[in-house]
Chain A
Amino acid sequence: MPTPFIMPKMDMDQEVVTIIEWLKKEGEKITKGEPVVTVETDKITSDIEAPETGTLVGILYHENEEAPVTKVVAYILAEGESLSELPGSQENSQESLKPELAASAHASATTNLRATPVAEKMAASMNIDLAGVQTKGDRITKSDIEKFLAAPQTLPGGKVTATPAARRMSKENEIDLEGISGSGPRGRIQSIDVVNASTSFAQVSTPHTAPTPVKAANLVAGSSIPLVGKRKRIAERLTASYQNSPHIYLTVEVDMSRAEESRQRMNKLNEKTGKSSISVTAYLAKLVAWNLKRHPYLNASIVEDRIEFWEDVNLGIATAVSDGLVVPVIHQADQLGLAEINEQMRYLAKQARDGVLTREEVDGGTFTISNLGMFGIKSFTAIINPPQTGILAVGTTIRTPVVVDENDTIEVRPMMSMTLSVDHRIVDGAVAAQFLADLVRVIENPDMIIY
């Protein structure tokens, strides 16, 4: 019996992965434990290892296609096995074969592709697989092949035709070649096509870190980029969250005087000892983690028909990167000291910028902080990162005149605005309000944390 190669589920609420590249091709020998396919989730790209040693066959999902998790994506044959041994009935397996496989498993025996001798000769000389050529009649003719050649080409296995330079540049700029229309012969993607795509990409999504275009003069007005890969995942995920979780928003202003004073005091010490300075986000993360431990509903998820409360506080920190957004996670932040949180945050931010975050580093978040204060944003609302129930949107700190006592004394204080988004299915307004009130209290009185 062929061994099914099942796409593992890497994330609790994950349903599909995008196949980026089959590192091993149909018919190639694979060894248990070696990387076979590169897949992308909405968070990261990772390599899936062979579950068994054998020959890789019956690949069901090709490059740039989406494959469902926990389902069969290919098979592994041991010595002497063949795909035809797969049972027609599904008695031992929940997985159902895609209809194409059932057909292709027997295709070699029963192939009835017909082509004229001229067409066959053309196909042979140009390495064209006749199976991919469409015909209106019952035979593939020379003109069918010519039409096939004129259309943008995809190589067997769904690989687009592109020059090595275009491939390199697409990797460097993290642009999916799929969807870029090639200006080369037979639709081949040339470097200029990637430059055009990347120029428009950079202008749409990352105005602050747009890479210097190689040939800026080649920007085509009105050009567009395909919504694929990581960007597509972000789009789907946030749309789903916004549609499925009824969001409510609560905004508070918090006096940062003491927090800032304490943070600066620490940083002066750090300066003397040569340690890196504590960031505002790290400082807040420490207090948020402390507060989450005291508000279990904000550190919970809906799993099917149950609300599950998480033991650990795993804080996601929304991080902008050149091609979008990633949320690296500080695990068990409630058990870490501020210095540790700060160090982890610096490390994860660097990993994110370098695009080398591991699956562990983005998995398992239970609550997210998104800080746009450094951009001067006063306040904003954020969309919950499912399956979490809350996200805290942090604005900038502004010196503002405020009434500080019952005698209406007005003082100038560094005020910061925070907006909490919660999933109303789990968290009611009063619960969220209590969380925020306690958070404000601990930020305004940081020594509360040892209380």
Chain B
Amino acid sequence: MPEITYREAIRDAMVIEMRRDNTVFLMGEDIGTYGGAFGVSAGMLDEFGPERILETPISELAIVGAATGAAMVGMKPIAEMMFMDFILLALEPLMNQAAKARYMFGGKATVPMVVRMAGGSGTGAAAQHSQSLENILMTIPGIKVVAPSNPHDAKGLLISAIRDPNPVCFIEHKLLYKVKGEVPEGEYTLPLGVAEVKREGTDLTVVTSGIMVNKTLTVAEKLASEGISVEVIDPRTLRPLDTDTINASVKKTGKLLVVHEATKIGGWAGEVFAAVCESDAFDYLDAPMRRLAGKDCPIPYNRLMEAAAVPQEVDIEAEIRAIVSNAY
């Protein structure tokens, strides 16, 4: 199986769908000649032309609004937010229009739209270009939130997202773009709303998403040599959240850590805890549930401080050690 980058896997998914279905098109800022701010759509203009690789003015409101309208009249737009932070400018069409249209028109209108967005910190892009806003997006009924952690998942999930009749926010972590992984050629889909156990273990369950999955897996590998067995679950889709897989794992291990880059207060770790507490998995908890999340502050520009603001491998390792040694 060929090894390609996360960026190439996403491009691959878009190209496959655009070749297969001529209602699929991409719109966004600098996606054509420039190939996108992170180079995801490089080369696509040559194959599909300016009508299907649609360059837009610098207005996220216009991009998501136009995509929503296009989707409602039968197109399958992929809208790109250069930075996830800019989705805030498009919350009105996203949250008030796209998320509600199918419901308010009694199912007569659907919004098969994907909004791709580059999220996360680690590039020195400072507080307005480094956020992880999944906490906000997850609270919107009517949209799905997908956050792949590797190239294989990115391709399969994006194809599913494009084919899904509902608006899907597709979160791509900036630091993952250059990460390589084995990806099958041709088309395949991964179901939305289904978590994957990335590593099986018995001592502790870690639920984590995006780039934190990779960090946690590295730590889990290291701790395994000391006999600490960590189970790593990647929800892959944050909304709908696959609580069955999480609860089953907690029933097995009795201990839960949620790691996310998004800020802690009101963060989705709390949603995971609630799911456990509301299920019979509660009776299997053998330690306080813990969360390791982004600090409740703007992402700093200074690179050292930026790293300190979000969980790093050393933090994850220390937290896992503390939980399994009954420190809490």
Q: Is the CB of B283 within 8 A of A185?
A: no
Which of A163, A185, A191, A192 gathers most chain B CB within 10 Å?
A163
Most buried by A among B283, B284, B327, B328: B283
B267 within 8 A of A: no
Contact B283 A164 (CB under 8 A): yes
Asked if A165 is at the interface of the complex by the 8 Å CB criterion, the answer is yes
Q: State the CA gap A268–B270 with chains docked (Å).
A: 64
Q: Are B326 and A166 in contact (CB under 8 A)?
A: no
Question: Does B326 contact A164, Cβ atoms closer than 8 Å?
Answer: no
B283: which A residues are within 8 A, CB to CB?
Answer: 164-165, 167-168
User: Are the CB atoms of B328 and A185 closer together than 8 Å?
Assistant: yes
Please state if B286 and A163 are interface contacts (CB–CB under 8 Å).
yes
* Chain B positions within 8 Å of A185 at CB level: 326-328
Asked if B285 CB lies within 8 Å of chain A CBs, one says: yes
Q: Mark A16-51, 1 if CB is under 8 A from B, else 0.
A: 000000000000000000000000000000000000
> Is B326's CB under 8 angstroms from A190's CB?
yes
User: B282 contacts the other chain (Cβ, under 8 Å)?
Assistant: yes
Q: Complex: how many Å from CA A163 to CA B284?
A: 8
The docked-state distance in angstroms from the alpha carbon of A166 to that of B327 is 17
B102 to chain A minimum Cβ distance, whole angstroms, is 39
A165 partner, pick from B286, B326, B327, B328, beta carbons under 8 A: B286
Q: Does B89 make an interface contact (CB < 8 A)? A: no
Q: Which of A131-181 contact B (CB under 8 A)?
A: 163-168
Task: Give complex CA distance A183, B327 in Å.
Answer: 11
Q: Are A183 and B254 in contact (CB under 8 A)?
A: no
Q: Which of A167, A168, A183, A192 gathers the greatest number of chain B CB atoms within 10 Å?
A: A168
The complex places the Cα of A166 from the Cα of B282 at a distance, in Å, of 11
Q: Would you list which residues of chain A between 163 and 218 have a CB under 8 Å from chain B?
A: 163-168, 183-185, 190-192
Which chain B residue has the least Cβ–Cβ distance from A163? B286
Q: Which residues of B contact A184 (CB under 8 A)?
A: 287, 326
Q: Distance in Å from the Cβ of A162 to the closest Cβ of chain B?
A: 10
Task: Name the interface size band of chain A.
Answer: 10 to 19
Nearest chain B CB to A171's CB is how many angstroms away?
A: 9
- What is the size, in residues, of chain B's interface with A at 8 Å between Cβ atoms? 10
Q: Which residues of B contact A192 (CB under 8 A)?
A: 286
Chain A interface mostly: helix
Q: Shortest Cβ distance from B64 into chain A, in angstroms?
A: 43
Q: Decide if B328 touches A190 in the complex (CB within 8 Å).
A: no
| A183 interface neighbour in B284, B285, B326, Cβ under 8 Å | B326
Q: Is the CB of B286 within 8 A of A190?
A: yes
Chain A residues positioned under 8 Å from B328 (CB to CB)? 185
Cα(A185)–Cα(B328), bound, Å: 6
A167 to B254, CA, bound (A): 13
Contact B326 A168 (CB under 8 A): no
Q: How far is the CA of A191 from the CA of B255 in the complex (A)?
A: 11
Measured in the bound complex, the distance between the Cα atoms of B256 and A165 in whole Å is 13
Q: Which of B48-101 contact A (CB under 8 A)?
A: none
- B285: A residues at CB distance < 8 A: 163-165
**CA of A447 to CA of B254 in the docked complex: distance in angstroms?**
62
Within the assembled complex, what's the spacing in Å between the Cα atoms of A165 and B283?
5
Contacting A at CB under 8 A, from B306-328, are 326-328
Bound form: Cα–Cα A183–B284 in Å: 17
Docked CA distance A22–B140 (Å): 42
- Rounded to whole angstroms, the CA-CA distance of A168 and B284 in the bound complex is 7
Of A165, A166, A168, chain B has the most CB atoms within 10 Å of the CB of A165
**Chain B 267-306 against A: per-residue CB contact (8 Å), 1 yes, 0 no?**
0000000000000001111110000000000000000000
Hey, which chain A residues are within 8 Å of B286, CB to CB? 163-166, 190-192
User: In whole Å, how far is A137's beta carbon from the nearest beta carbon of chain B?
Assistant: 32
Cβ contacts under 8 Å, B284 to chain A? 164-165, 168
Q: What would 22 A/B residue contacts be, using CB atoms closer than 8 Å? A: A163-B254, A163-B286, A163-B287, A164-B284, A164-B286, A165-B254, A165-B283, A165-B284, A165-B285, A167-B283, A168-B283, A168-B284, A183-B326, A184-B287, A184-B326, A185-B326, A185-B327, A190-B286, A190-B287, A190-B326, A191-B254, A192-B286
- A-B pairs, top 9 by smallest CB distance, nearest first, are A165-B286, A168-B283, A164-B285, A163-B286, A191-B286, A165-B254, A165-B284, A184-B326, A164-B283
Contact surface of B with A, Cβ cutoff 8 Å? 254, 282-287, 326-328
Q: Known A-B contacts: A163-B254, A190-B287. Give 12 more (CB < 8 A).
A: A165-B283, A165-B284, A165-B285, A166-B286, A168-B283, A168-B284, A183-B326, A184-B287, A185-B328, A190-B286, A191-B286, A192-B286
